Structure 1
Amino acid sequence: MPQPTSQQRASVASSQSTQGAVGWSAATGWVVLFVAVALVVWFVSLDMRHLVGPDEGRYAEISREMFASGDWVTIRYNALKYFEKPPFHMWVTVVGYELFGLGEWQARLAVALSGLLGIGVSMMAARRWFGARAAAFTGLALLAAPMWSVAAHFNTLDMTLAGVMSCVLAFMLMGQHPDASVAARRGWMVACWAAMGVAILTKGLVGIALPGLVLVVYTLVTRDWGLWRRLHLALGVVVMLVITVPWFYLVSVRNPEFPNFFFIHEHWQRYTSNIHSRSGSVFYFLPLVIGGFLPWAGIFPKLWTAMRAPVEGTQARFRPALMAGIWAIAIFVFFSISRSKLPGYIVPVIPALGILAGVALDRLSPRSWGKQLIGMAIVAACGLLASPVVATLNANHIPNSFYRAYAVWVAVAFVVMLLGIAVARLLLRRGVLPSVAVYAMGMYLGFTVALLGHETVGRPASGADIAPQIAQKLTPEMPLYGVQMLDHTLPFYLRHPLMMVGQADELTFGATVEPQRVVPDVDSFTKLWKNGQPAMAVMSPDTYLALAPTLSMYVVARDWRRVVVANVASLAGPQ
């Protein structure tokens, strides 16, 4: 057989190179389009819902009061000292207010950036240890996980903490890679300690307690005692203290009551007792993790396999997948045995699950992925068939009519998911990665539709619709009383704090240390109401009916959950 000439070989090589370049260019174009769509949806959706209580309104208003007062040390909520949480989340929000003004998307900017940060650093760590393909799968897993992408659009401290904690995990993994130089390892570990300092400033001592728990469990399991020598403990602790001590010192000096309330009441008593009435069974977080990572529930057994498998191509004793698995399990157990439970507590486990999912998907065969698509298609179809059940709800004192409107959005969300699954099934012939990418985008868009549809429930509860009527008559110096009711959203929309009457709710500590800033009971409120100074008050419909026979109250505005009244007829709204 005649051999090809050098000119023929050059022609073939040139043709292959051209085809490769075209294929690479096309793939790059699809990646750019995918990222652009994800980012546009991520940020545009921040401003498409009104704030809901309690967390969103609370932290938006705390940040607004910090922004208005210029005091970044003593945290206040409705002008009362509020020491339940440290200030980092509020600091970031205030910076957003400074740069972009007051608004709903600005109030959610901290959590949105935290969510993106978590995806980015988790992909970085996965790429370092497992390759670019596993990193891509990690990013897709987190994007599609509702407990990550949806949580990153609710203004809560839990999401900001989770974003910072994902940095702690990722920087630890980066610093322990066997190819890292001495300087690089020191740099990554210093960054890890710095992230723990920021985590402490975000939500307290869990910022160091959780990583410490994970390290102890990991070394007990692996017997890798040398890991502790690679943590750069002395330098790291100094960095962490430099970040955390200044605020804790200043707030304690200015507010001597802070240390006991924050460290004893808000940490030890919250964890060991039911002081906040937030108890739950030991299985409380299990359905939340399964639901929050639902698009990947079918590969949960493979996460266990990925966690136990050694890293290919390296003799390193450190096992990053095992570290990620222990991170998820240890934090899950820590909060499961706590006497205080809220859904957001478990969010920090999701980045670790995302890394494990990235490793598992990277090793998944087309056949196995096809079975996963079929399973999720069944789940989504069942969800679509069950969506009318939402229209029958009447929970949390929310009128059923709002749930009936929301049921339509839930149905549309499942339709979007089913379309994504169908297209992913068609693309499976092109490979697992493009199929997973379309599937993840379909899940992400579906859950985003459900999130945006929540506006049918959230908007009526937010008070945003009646705020303009009130703002027309409310002046900055006019008292606005909260009569046996702490409204978490209306103060932000009115740019005006409440003065609590009677029940101080979660502001009890602030009311105790600054009693002059509250009205102790309804009798005292009655005297103030009748003194002739123009004032307004927010109360529940039941409280309004109870007080109306004895007090002159002129309705300024009302909705299904609140009545806003004035003591002067000229302030009354149109009847």
Structure 2
Amino acid sequence: MRSSSPSRYDGLPVGMIALVVVAVLLVWFGTLDARHLLRPDEGRYAEISREMFASGDWVTIRYNALKYFEKPPFHMWVTTIAYELFGVGDWQARLCVALSGIVGLAATVLAAARWFGIRAALLAGLALVAAPMWSVAGHFNSLDMTLSGALACVLAFMMLAQHPEATPAARRGWMLACWVAMGVAILTKGLVGIALPGLVLVVYTLTTRDFGLWRRLHLPTGIVVLLAVTVPWFWLISRTNPDFPHFFFIHEHWDRYTSTVHSRKGSVWYFVPLLVAGFLPWLGLTPRMWDTVRERAGTVLGASGKPFQPALMAFLWFIAIFAFFSLSGSKLPGYIVPVFPALAMLAGVALDQINERSWKRQINALLVLAVVGLIAAPVVATLDRPTNPNEVFRAFAVYIGVAFAVLLAGMLLARRLLRTRGLLPSITAFALAMYLTCTIGLMGHEVMGRRASGVDMVPAIQAVLKPDMPLYGVGVLDHTLPFYLGLTLTMVEHPDELEFGVQQEPAKWIPTVDQFLARWRDGQPAMGIMSPDTYDSLAARQIPMYVVARDVRRVVVSNFPPPGTPAPAQPQEPRSAP
């Protein structure tokens, strides 16, 4: 039966809801420029989009001017549009993931409202925005959130289409929107965009024996729509790059899933701690979320055929996707981000039914976490690493302390509001406090991320750069510094993840150090980026190099004296004896 909501939620405060929405959006989009790009993903996709923006080629994806066919272009297209509209920069590079996170959240709220009621939907939205994995991924320039936003729309639109009160026209419209969202998912990260929803549907129909669901998916028209969204780019890139289909569909799909060819290993339990941390504020709701599934919350009885079970669908979406990536031979933390909208939907229904005593236990659990975090902040201030000296950790500890102080204040406010105003204001304060805690902690990482990005080296390098000067990556692929310089690297000796590109266009790289040194000495002004160890090795060989800038991770050198460099000392003539 349809879930009911206790009277304590009657008369939703529209003004408070609007204020919360505005506050969430301001923080969500207002902090996109608070950090510099991190390596490798943020710098990689920002630079690919910059090269697309500079070249005008929206078909053949290139990274450091080399063909880069690991991923489809949708994420880079959106980022390039952001560059076209607002210029090239950090927040523009993150705009795609920020929009994806908000669109996925809005779609989740819309589907939850249709099946579980507006109160449960609003609570689902709060649960998702306060889920650490979702809020962090929405501010990290990688493909995971773009894919997750598209998949959240796939789930939400399919659920909207299956509601028994939907008219035939509405059902067809929502299903076609679902197929479009699947097309976007495929154009974001490949066949996983249709494989994951397909897996969930198979598991759902085998569990419920509701095989009639497949007849309600508008398969013939939907497949046409899907092909219309995806085929043009795949056809264009395959026509101009005959090696693309094998590399993309075999190497980047089958080999990635079935082997450890990309060296992204992990045990079958790899994602468990990430799931715990990513959904931390709502873990105490787990028994109630299971009750939501077991009691078939939201199901409307009396519909023709077997009734659609939205809670079960959300649960199986989580289980199937989590199991799929847990069994994969390739694992990265962001792979499980698509499970969180489904979990948030279940959490929203659970919160809609929670009593005040149980909710107070939730608050008390995060109160303990806040106190532990405050105690840990001084410990962070004592850390010291070769890449991040103690003063960096001391600065980071301040952010950690502020973040957990906000969490503590938020939990105290949630307790007070529970006594004075009831559950909804208390849950809202709880969720917003967790959201702000994650945001402040992520912003604090800038004290480390700025150093890693190399952005502080840019003024010194730009003072030496000359027009058309080559920039070499000597044994190292720097993912962030070229973006901030607006230049591409010519790889030397070690192609790193550009191996496919250098195989396709071998004239665009230098395979040996000796060949590089011959070019380095040819009289053309040039600069190189290398590790400190490589610099020391070349300096020991008395290679002519002038240090332009350096940090603990990289040394940037030129083959000519930078302006203001003292002339080398001349040997003195021996003085004759008196």
TM-score normalised per structure 1: 0.94
Given the alignment, which residue of 525, 537, 547 partners 2:528? 537
Q: How many residues align?
A: 553
Residue 529 of structure 2 aligns to a residue whose secondary structure is strand
Aligned pairs for 1:132-211 (under 5 A) are 132-211=118-197
Inter-CA distance 250–211: structure 2 relative to 1 (3 Å threshold): same
Alpha-carbon offset, residue 497 of structure 1: 0.6
Matched-pair contact (CA < 8 Å) for 1:196–1:208: yes
Instruction: Indicate the residue corresponding to 2:538 in structure 1.
Output: 547
State the alpha-carbon separation in 2 of the partners of residues 222 and 520 from structure 1: 58
Matched-pair contact (CA < 8 Å) for 2:414–2:426: yes
State the alpha-carbon separation in 1 of the partners of residues 97 and 327 from structure 2: 27
State the alpha-carbon separation in 1 of the partners of residues 132 and 293 from structure 2: 22
Instruction: Indicate the residue corresponding to 1:5 in structure 2.
Output: none
Instruction: Indicate the residue corresponding to 1:308 in structure 2.
Output: 294
Instruction: Indicate the residue corresponding to 2:572 in structure 1.
Output: none
State the alpha-carbon separation in 1 of the partners of residues 466 and 153 from structure 2: 45
Inter-CA distance 55–394: structure 2 relative to 1 (3 Å threshold): farther
Given the alignment, which residue of 51, 59, 66 partners 1:73? 59
Cα deviation per residue 1:335-360 (whole Å; 9 max; x = unaligned)? 00101000000100011111011111
Inter-CA distance 24–181: structure 2 relative to 1 (3 Å threshold): closer
Inter-CA distance 301–89: structure 2 relative to 1 (3 Å threshold): same
Cα deviation per residue 1:256-310 (whole Å; 9 max; x = unaligned)? 1111111111100010001011110100001101100111111122211112222
Cα deviation per residue 1:193-249 (whole Å; 9 max; x = unaligned)? 111011000000000000000000000111101101101111101100010000001
Instruction: Indicate the residue corresponding to 1:339 in structure 2.
Output: 329
- The one-letter code of the counterpart of 1:507 is L
Instruction: Indicate the residue corresponding to 1:289 in structure 2.
Output: 275
Residue 466 of structure 1 aligns to a residue whose secondary structure is helix
Alpha-carbon offset, residue 82 of structure 1: 0.4
Inter-CA distance 378–259: structure 2 relative to 1 (3 Å threshold): same
Cα deviation per residue 1:128-171 (whole Å; 9 max; x = unaligned)? 00111001101100111110111100100001000000000000
Given the alignment, which residue of 433, 444, 459 partners 1:468? 459
Matched-pair contact (CA < 8 Å) for 1:197–1:207: yes
State the alpha-carbon separation in 1 of the partners of residues 493 and 381 from structure 2: 36
Instruction: Indicate the residue corresponding to 1:61 in structure 2.
Output: 47
Given the alignment, which residue of 425, 449, 463 partners 2:440? 449
Inter-CA distance 149–396: structure 2 relative to 1 (3 Å threshold): farther
Given the alignment, which residue of 552, 557, 561 partners 1:565? 557
State the alpha-carbon separation in 2 of the partners of residues 238 and 212 from structure 1: 16
Unaligned runs of 5+ in 2: 1-8, 568-578
State the alpha-carbon separation in 2 of the partners of residues 240 and 543 from structure 1: 49
Instruction: Indicate the residue corresponding to 1:16 in structure 2.
Output: none
State the alpha-carbon separation in 2 of the partners of residues 396 and 161 from structure 1: 35
- The one-letter code of the counterpart of 1:261 is F
State the alpha-carbon separation in 1 of the partners of residues 173 and 166 from structure 2: 10
Instruction: Indicate the residue corresponding to 2:374 in structure 1.
Output: 384
Between Structure 1 and Structure 2, which shows a larger proportion of helix residues?
1
Given the alignment, which residue of 485, 498, 503 partners 1:494? 485
Q: Are positions 1:29 and 2:15 aligned together?
A: yes
Instruction: Indicate the residue corresponding to 1:130 in structure 2.
Output: 116
- The one-letter code of the counterpart of 2:532 is P
Instruction: Indicate the residue corresponding to 1:523 in structure 2.
Output: 514
Inter-CA distance 399–79: structure 2 relative to 1 (3 Å threshold): farther
Residue 32 of structure 2 aligns to a residue whose secondary structure is helix
Matched-pair contact (CA < 8 Å) for 1:556–1:573: no
Unaligned runs of 5+ in 1: 1-22
Instruction: Indicate the residue corresponding to 2:395 in structure 1.
Output: 405
Instruction: Indicate the residue corresponding to 1:361 in structure 2.
Output: 351
**Percent of residue pairs bearing the same amino acid type:** 63
- The one-letter code of the counterpart of 1:228 is W
Q: Are positions 1:257 and 2:243 aligned together?
A: yes
Inter-CA distance 174–426: structure 2 relative to 1 (3 Å threshold): same
- The one-letter code of the counterpart of 1:437 is T
Aligned pairs for 1:204-219 (under 5 A) are 204-219=190-205
Alpha-carbon offset, residue 389 of structure 1: 3.8
State the alpha-carbon separation in 1 of the partners of residues 324 and 466 from structure 2: 48
Alpha-carbon offset, residue 400 of structure 1: 4.4
- The one-letter code of the counterpart of 1:526 is L
Inter-CA distance 572–339: structure 2 relative to 1 (3 Å threshold): farther
Residue 562 of structure 2 aligns to a residue whose secondary structure is helix
Residue 251 of structure 1 aligns to a residue whose secondary structure is helix
- The one-letter code of the counterpart of 1:230 is R
Alpha-carbon offset, residue 367 of structure 1: 1.1
State the alpha-carbon separation in 2 of the partners of residues 572 and 441 from structure 1: 53
Alpha-carbon offset, residue 381 of structure 1: 1.6
State the alpha-carbon separation in 1 of the partners of residues 513 and 214 from structure 2: 59
Segment of structure 1 superposing worse, 173-182 or 383-392: 383-392
Instruction: Indicate the residue corresponding to 2:570 in structure 1.
Output: none
Cα deviation per residue 1:441-483 (whole Å; 9 max; x = unaligned)? 1111111110100001000110111112212222341100000
State the alpha-carbon separation in 1 of the partners of residues 52 and 527 from structure 2: 23
State the alpha-carbon separation in 2 of the partners of residues 406 and 76 from structure 1: 36
Residue 570 of structure 1 aligns to a residue whose secondary structure is coil
Matched-pair contact (CA < 8 Å) for 2:115–2:298: no
Q: Are positions 1:503 and 2:494 aligned together?
A: yes
Matched-pair contact (CA < 8 Å) for 1:481–1:537: yes
Segment of structure 1 superposing worse, 377-386 or 549-558: 377-386
Instruction: Indicate the residue corresponding to 2:233 in structure 1.
Output: 247
Alpha-carbon offset, residue 398 of structure 1: 4.0
State the alpha-carbon separation in 1 of the partners of residues 157 and 564 from structure 2: 58
Residue 468 of structure 2 aligns to a residue whose secondary structure is coil
State the alpha-carbon separation in 2 of the partners of residues 176 and 388 from structure 1: 53
Inter-CA distance 396–448: structure 2 relative to 1 (3 Å threshold): farther
Q: Are positions 1:348 and 2:338 aligned together?
A: yes
State the alpha-carbon separation in 1 of the partners of residues 71 and 388 from structure 2: 29
